[in-house]
Amino acid sequence: MAQTVFCKKHQKQLEGLERAPFPGQKGLDILENISKEAWTEWQTVQTMLINEKQLNMMQADSRKYIMEQMDKFFNNEETDKILGHTDFNDIEEL
């Protein structure tokens, strides 16, 4: 089991990642401050953004855009909306 971290996204102690998802300082920051749960949530949002925006991750501007959206996501700021996606947490019970 990985160590626990105080997750910046969820604002509580949660299981951390087993290794940094990126090299360098950015990866180390994620490893130390983002939970496995938040990282999995981000991967889902990231995939939807890449598909919706038809991003080519071989292009620097697409990678920059995704990194900006990731920072917003982990800082609980609003990210770009994905058309047709409904966050089930936002739906009121009938």
CATH code of residue 22:
1.10.3880.10
Is residue 92 assigned to a domain?
A: no
Q: What is the pLDDT of residue 91?
A: 41
Question: Which parts of the chain fold into alpha helices (H)?
Answer: 24-33, 36-53, 60-74
As for how many domains the chain has, the answer is 1
Q: What is the pLDDT of residue 86?
A: 55
pLDDT in tens, 56-78: 999 999 999 999 999 999 999 99
Is residue 53 assigned to a domain?
A: yes
Mean pLDDT of 32-40: 97
Question: Is pLDDT above 90 for 41?
Answer: yes
Confidence of residue 89 (pLDDT cuts 50, 70, 90): low
Q: What is the pLDDT of residue 81?
A: 83
Is residue 30 assigned to a domain?
A: yes
Domain limits for position 57: 4-83
Is residue 94 assigned to a domain?
A: no
Distances (CA, A) of 83 to 49, 50, 92: 10, 12, 19
